[in-house]
Structure 1
Amino acid sequence: MTYHAHSGKLTDESDWQILSHHLTRVAARAGIYGSPIGLEGLAKIAGLFHDLGKYTADFQRRLHGINLRVDHSTAGAAVLMKMVPRPVREIAELVAYTILGHHAGLPDKFNEFGHCFLRRVREFEDRLDPVWKDQLSFDLGDLQMRELMGKLSPEKRIAEFELSVVTRMLFSCLVDADFKDTEAFYDALEGRQSNREWPLLQDVLPAFLAAFDAHMAAKSKDGEVNRLRGDILAHVRAGALNEPGLFTLNVPTGGGKTLASLGFALAHARKWDHRRIIYAIPFTSIVDQTAAIFRDILGEDNVLEHHSAIDEEHIEERWGRDKLKLAMQDWAAPVVVTTNVQFFESLFAARTSRARKLHNIAGSIIILDEAQTIPRPLLKPCVRMLDALARLFGCTIVLCTATQPALDASNFPDGLKLDGRELAPDPGKLSARLKRARIVRVGAMNNPELIEAIRAEPQALFIVNSRKHALDLYKEGKNAGVDGLVHLTTRQCAAHRRLILGDVKARLKNGETCRLVATSLIEAGVDVDFPGVWRAEAGLDQIVQAAGRCNREGRHPVEDSIVSVFSAPDYPPPREIAGLIGDMGRVIPKHEDLLSLGAIADYFGEVYWRAGPELDAKKILEGFKINRDGTDFAFRCVAEKFRMIESGMEPVIVEFDNDAEETVTELEFERISSGVLARKLQSYIVQVPPKARRLLIDNGHVAFVRPDIRGDQFAVLKNASLYRQEVGLMWEDAAYLAAESWQI
């Protein structure tokens, strides 16, 4: 009997994929992916064993169209665990996790459900045709990773976590190899070709460096600020000669941090042969901005921008005779610009769609822009992951920020070894030289008082802590006759916000009246320059970010460039921000200048001291243990708990322009991949509360497009009147409009 991995079109099976061919090809490809990270042998074993469960009559009948439910993912893991000698059992378990999870995702070692590692392996009944042993050649001596074992931390609790990361990397090698071999088979069957080829970073690096140098040479060198930026860039690039590992880049706003970090990454990659450059950025709006800068310098086809607002895990993966839909990209591009959410949630993911890219993160230069925005309840796991990437997998990681948090081991439990790894020239002096504003606390202000303050300033930025406050303040200002008023909020889709920011920048440049009311999305990295800023009370890190929008280009005297910090009694801050306000309050008496590095360091010390155990609030690190019975890794449980954004918001697509309308129309055509359409629509998403979206759907204002083929992935706004140019999506009007429509 001939065993097949995937069926073809012909009934004589002549175009079907032979199972042994699939297994050997996946093993070879997985080994190639694993080789640079010390996992070649384990990856080959995983590839050879992953589909052993297809060596059964039931699975072959299923390929012939008989409706049978067949678990083909357990066999390889169960057989492997029975075959391995005791000394390598723990390492074999790492491979077994990946085999068990190569379709449904990495499992927990044990839980109350039937899909856990232990139950599946223990309850496995071997019905495999023994012919598999004759068709596959393998050596269990490959179950070793001496190089990686030598790098593991001597501290048991850290080494346990590091082995879980090793498993994730191995899983990535396997599932990416499996996806691509299957894709290649169906491409050949259908006579198509998937365009997945990206240039290697080292091949295009000479051109990148030349383009970067040309770009910098064209920039103005006049003025103190531009000369200082040039000095910073030269110093940072010189630091590229340092050995790979962990770095900090502490450059105040206005110091050219983005281009300096890119200059470092290019020079460091040339020196140390890194495989790609990954920028992880906290907010989608800055991803757009940064990706545009990089594309302009490095070329349109060399930069992958990945920040889909529609969760790609929900893209249906169809294994079948007619087509295969791949769930997400593999980050093979030489330069990747993404969000912190995509980056960290992928690293802690259990599902194949997110974990697939991880082996391409290894060996990268990772720039974490605005590193202080890592959510504090997840800070310890994130720091532990960064340390593992640097020490085990050859990554260089730059914590790049204008408000450097105290993440070093000297003042942060389980912190990073950052002593002597600062890339910027004398951050203290830089902070003083680049100081553009001063902070003044002005006490409590209600909306009428804020409106009078707005009226008094022809150009000013007002930042509040909630979308509700921003909307109320904007509406009351308009009703009071304040002109030049602009509203910026996540009620607006990203494409809309880009237009608004373009208009704001033009008004500021031309000296026109511009009074911007915004939420905190304006703070981190958005390049606007107001002569004055008003900021609702928050943590010092947010206040400092707000100050970065005040006198950004140094056109006004520092003493006249004021960040007025007010409290808003009618709009109590969220619990998290209230705690940070308290931390800031304890720092204020100690420092005259709240923008000094000393004040910022004290502030983060207060935050981390107060947070304590809450820095791993979900007990992520407790999910990975090793005991006398072997590993006890809770991959699935951890993935469910690791969420960087806890808002629970749900997406609504707004047909804001012609491009959005055309893409929504394309949802009707089954031949177009959901993944492609999701990426095209990511700039047209507004995140709304779940109850609000349900109300919108129930009242006919929002509908899922083609749920028969797309599921509940694409919820599109049908009532255009709910989206307004000045304020965005007004989901609160859903029930009112439905009632009004009924009365009519």
Structure 2
Amino acid sequence: MLIAHIRKSDFEEQSVQQHLEEVASLARRYGESVNLGALSELSGLLHDMGKFTIHFTNYLKKAVLENEIATEKIDHSTAGAKYLYENFYGQNTLQNLVVETIGMGILSHHSGMQNFVQPDFKPSDFVRRVTNDKLPYYKEVVRNFEGIQGNKERVQSLVSEAIEEMEGFLRTVKPHGDLYTYLALMQKLVFSCLIDADRTNTRCFEEAESVLDSNFQSLFKEGYENLMKTVIRFRKSEKPINQLRNEMSEECDIIALECSAIRTLSIPTGGGKTFASLRYALKHALEFNKSKIIYIVPYTTILEQNAQAVRDIIDRQDAVLEHHANVIDDTALDNETDFYDSDVHKKMQLGRDNWEYPIIFTTMVQFLDTFYQKGTRKGRRLHSLTNAVLVFDEVQTVPFQHQSLFSAAINFLQTVGKSSILLCTATQPALDRIEPAIRLPEKAEIVPDLVGAVKAFERVSITSKVESEGWGAEKIAEFTEDLLEENSSVLVILNTKTAVRNVYKLLKENEDVFVVHLSTSMCPAHRKRKLEEIRERLGKEKVVCISTQLIEAGVDISFEAVVRSLAGLDSIAQAAGRCNRNAEKLRGNVYIVRAKDESLSKLPEIRIGGEVTENYILSNPEFRGQLLGPKAIETYFSHFFEQAEREIQIAPKGLNHPLYHLLNGKAAAMQNPKTRSLGMFKTIEQYFEAIDSPTTAVIVPYEDGEKIIADLNDNHYDLTLFNERIKQAQQYSVNLYQHELRKLSETGLIQPLFDGSIYCLKEKAYDLSYGVSLDGLAKVESYTF
């Protein structure tokens, strides 16, 4: 028997044929709901065809039974693509697209997606590999594969069915134009179905488990019924603001009965956006049999809070997954081996990472990475975004340089992926200025009277104290203390972590005030604890919170006064949403200042946003007293996009094209391509970063983080425990820039685990007030409050 895998716990063998059939079946299940079942199944059936050799079986036995680390690199990913190409390519356009789509997925399934067209005019990755006449053991592979009864006929049958699927796909996307973009993303989706099916089948074999056939409709029904109990309480409430929130959610309930589309939900801050969007999502998922509900948010603080709010509303604590960051960095492990050369490789590869939950909260960075980041791990999740309800919270925070890639992904998920999409924010960006334009229906907005809604939710007065020279930390601290004479709580939001720390150091010396620092240098569990502490003290004693913008969007907390450093009007609107949030008094006060010691040279969007706000909004008498009205928001985004287009470099350094042109075929059109497909996936992934400076997730020794680090440091092979700890580590991780990692490494304050795929901080590098401490002078006396 030719072997695909050997289970390490009991040395049970899984044959190549068994693995191929099981992966094919699971891949079909993933692709079926979006009419890509045959394409996905055939990818699964051929993906490990290259293992049909006695050579691979012997290699595997030595690796597992004799614990011999292989020195030879075995390419088992090319054979299936080459077999398909040799037998079916060149007959007609539809069949060629089928071969290219499936072949690309197969030859990429351990390395990440390759290029159909090379940017340097060299032969494409795809053509070079499928036409390789010197592929080792290829004749033996074909002989053994076709020697199993039914394999050859099954391939022929699936190719015929896949041609019909390809024809249906082209018919669906043709009216929308941008054919090559849709084609490229469809090929990435088939790749996702294959990757997840392969990794899931291998993990289930290793853990001696079966794949669960998840259907969450009963949970959605139960959740909707529990949510409606809260609606009844809202209806009975005498508070006008609760009545207004209920009106917003009623509109969402009505729209939920309409067919899938991309819609906007422009509820003003404090209008109950999470509740209203959940009401839409649950009802729509029930009505149209959607597989999942996924919230995509800009900051982890929103993620933590809103995930818990959803758990409470639906009364199911186990139904929601929070996916903050990629604790595992395994891109270096994407290669052509079978990951049996060490336990480390295998454990990294088989980590549960496929969003097997009914309701998921993740970040915009994770969403964009799923489509465009390098490697296989992140792309594995892409098929989970199909046939789902996707709620984008604070959609205006999409990085400007990635607007086109975001729009392409959204249009694809709705048109091909059959997902229903809700774009939520109090400050809708100028979606019509993006290429490609987001495909909104004629009546996309759920809120029927935006002007009236903004007026009804007014709870603050905004005052500009912007001065040309700006205020230093001392002046901001002094102004905050003055505000405390008339207010019991003040929130100060500044644009950089350095500015936040400077003001915090001055204010924390006041022993009569509870002063808190918040920033992304703190892990989610730490920030959550700090916010709980603030909420407990609000209204009982003097409280000041100094924070970066992470507290702005969606955090359910209310201060009597807010000080906001000059930024975009959308940020100011979000800051205002943390003031007098529940109409505790007639009017709260928001003050806009210019912070002198903020360095914004590496934060161009914040800088441009502040300049546009100052030049076109604060100075315009038309918007006096109506800074957050629809007209002001529209004016702001119009000027923001105009200035950003001039000043923000869209094409990455070292590349002559925007990444979107590598997706839509424009960059490939001049190169006389040898394939119908033009996607340049490998190059996109090489240059794509969801944020300007890439970060690495590091587990920190805060509270349970110490136990997680200890368990991961005990490098025994227990895949179940490993998966559990990696999931828990989401709450105890901080994303660090490369220069921060270097500094911590130089001083011995960081510890790499699993061949550098996971990083952990030493105790002296994590401070109870600030979070990560690069100087190793952290206060660590106690992690309990």
TM exceeding 0.5: yes
What is residue 398 of structure 1 aligned with on the other side? Answer: 422
1:415 aligns with 2:420: no
1:94 aligns with 2:137: no
Separation in 1, partners of 2:439, 2:359: 26
Separation in 2, partners of 1:666, 1:416: 46
1:123 aligns with 2:160: no
Separation in 2, partners of 1:552, 1:94: 51
Aligned length: 716
Separation in 2, partners of 1:340, 1:718: 29
| Alpha carbons 1:654, 1:660 under 8 Å: kept | yes
3-state SS of 1:64 partner: helix
Distance 1:651 1:28, change over 3 A: closer
| Alpha carbons 1:198, 1:334 under 8 Å: kept | no
Q: Give 5+ residue unaligned stretches, structure 1.
A: 738-744
| Alpha carbons 1:651, 1:686 under 8 Å: kept | yes
What is residue 207 of structure 1 aligned with on the other side? Answer: 222
Cα shift at 1:651: 4.0
What is residue 149 of structure 1 aligned with on the other side? Answer: 170
Distance 1:231 1:381, change over 3 A: same
What is residue 44 of structure 1 aligned with on the other side? Answer: 41
What is residue 380 of structure 1 aligned with on the other side? Answer: 404
Trace 1:359-374 onto structure 2 (pairs within 5 A).
359-374=383-398
1:181 aligns with 2:208: no
Q: Once superposed, what is the RMSD of the aligned Cα atoms? A: 2.7
What is residue 783 of structure 2 aligned with on the other side? Answer: none
Separation in 2, partners of 1:312, 1:650: 8
| Alpha carbons 1:7, 1:321 under 8 Å: kept | no
Separation in 2, partners of 1:384, 1:615: 19
Which residue identity is paired with 2:81?
A: A
Out of 624, 627, 638, the residue aligned to residue 594 of structure 1 is 627
Which residue identity is paired with 1:621?
A: Y
Trace 1:140-539 onto structure 2 (pairs within 5 A).
140-144=159-163, 145=165, 146-154=167-175, 158-188=178-208, 193=209, 197=212, 199-219=214-234, 221-298=237-314, 299-313=316-330, 319-320=339-340, 324-325=346-347, 326-407=350-431, 409=432, 411-418=433-440, 419-443=442-466, 444-458=470-484, 459-479=489-509, 483-510=513-540, 512-539=541-568
Higher mean C-alpha displacement, 475-484 vs 25-34: 475-484
Distance 1:311 1:281, change over 3 A: farther
Distance 1:277 1:80, change over 3 A: same
Cα shift at 1:240: 0.9
Separation in 2, partners of 1:198, 1:581: 50
Cα shift at 1:291: 1.2
3-state SS of 1:357 partner: helix
Separation in 2, partners of 1:150, 1:177: 27
Higher mean C-alpha displacement, 209-218 vs 659-668: 209-218
Q: What are the superposed Cα offsets for residues 142-192 of structure 1, whole Å, 9 maximum, x if unpaired? A: 332232111114465x1101111111111111122222332333334xxxx
Cα shift at 1:514: 0.7
Separation in 1, partners of 2:319, 2:262: 25
| Alpha carbons 2:608, 2:644 under 8 Å: kept | no
Distance 1:490 1:425, change over 3 A: same
Separation in 2, partners of 1:117, 1:671: 36
Distance 1:733 1:53, change over 3 A: closer
Which residue identity is paired with 2:91?
A: R
Cα shift at 1:17: 2.3
What is residue 67 of structure 2 aligned with on the other side? Answer: none
Separation in 2, partners of 1:82, 1:154: 33
3-state SS of 1:414 partner: coil
Cα shift at 1:463: 1.0
1:4 aligns with 2:3: yes
Distance 1:716 1:22, change over 3 A: closer
Which residue identity is paired with 1:120?
A: R
3-state SS of 2:477 partner: helix
1:105 aligns with 2:138: no
Distance 1:649 1:180, change over 3 A: closer
Out of 610, 617, 621, the residue aligned to residue 660 of structure 2 is 621
Which residue identity is paired with 1:441?
A: S
Higher mean C-alpha displacement, 593-602 vs 29-38: 29-38
Out of 74, 77, 90, the residue aligned to residue 78 of structure 2 is 74
Distance 1:733 1:28, change over 3 A: closer
Q: Given the two structures, how large is their TM-score scaled by the length of structure 1?
A: 0.90
What is residue 134 of structure 1 aligned with on the other side? Answer: 147
3-state SS of 2:500 partner: helix
Q: What are the superposed Cα offsets for residues 421-449 of structure 1, whole Å, 9 maximum, x if unpaired? A: 11123121100110111221112322222
Higher mean C-alpha displacement, 243-252 vs 312-321: 312-321
Cα shift at 1:248: 0.4
What is residue 741 of structure 1 aligned with on the other side? Answer: none
Separation in 2, partners of 1:679, 1:5: 28
3-state SS of 2:705 partner: helix
Higher mean C-alpha displacement, 681-690 vs 281-290: 681-690
Q: Give 5+ residue unaligned stretches, structure 2.
A: 64-69, 653-657, 780-785
Cα shift at 1:216: 3.1
3-state SS of 1:517 partner: strand
Distance 1:652 1:271, change over 3 A: closer
Which residue identity is paired with 2:102?
A: V
Separation in 2, partners of 1:633, 1:448: 54
3-state SS of 1:226 partner: helix
| Alpha carbons 1:274, 1:363 under 8 Å: kept | yes
1:731 aligns with 2:754: no
3-state SS of 2:558 partner: coil
Separation in 1, partners of 2:608, 2:320: 39
| Alpha carbons 1:278, 1:367 under 8 Å: kept | yes
Cα shift at 1:637: 1.8
Out of 604, 615, 629, the residue aligned to residue 637 of structure 2 is 604
Higher mean C-alpha displacement, 527-536 vs 475-484: 475-484
Which residue identity is paired with 2:476?
A: L
Distance 1:514 1:73, change over 3 A: same
Cα shift at 1:55: 2.3
| Alpha carbons 1:240, 1:264 under 8 Å: kept | yes
| Alpha carbons 2:184, 2:678 under 8 Å: kept | no
Higher mean C-alpha displacement, 365-374 vs 211-220: 211-220
What is residue 742 of structure 1 aligned with on the other side? Answer: none
Q: Given the two structures, how large is their TM-score scaled by the length of structure 2?
A: 0.86
Distance 1:587 1:727, change over 3 A: same
Higher mean C-alpha displacement, 141-150 vs 124-133: 124-133
Distance 1:451 1:398, change over 3 A: same
Higher mean C-alpha displacement, 203-212 vs 513-522: 203-212
| Alpha carbons 2:372, 2:684 under 8 Å: kept | yes
Distance 1:727 1:26, change over 3 A: closer
Separation in 2, partners of 1:575, 1:361: 31
Distance 1:238 1:612, change over 3 A: same
Separation in 1, partners of 2:332, 2:762: 22
Cα shift at 1:75: 1.0
Which residue identity is paired with 2:116?
A: K
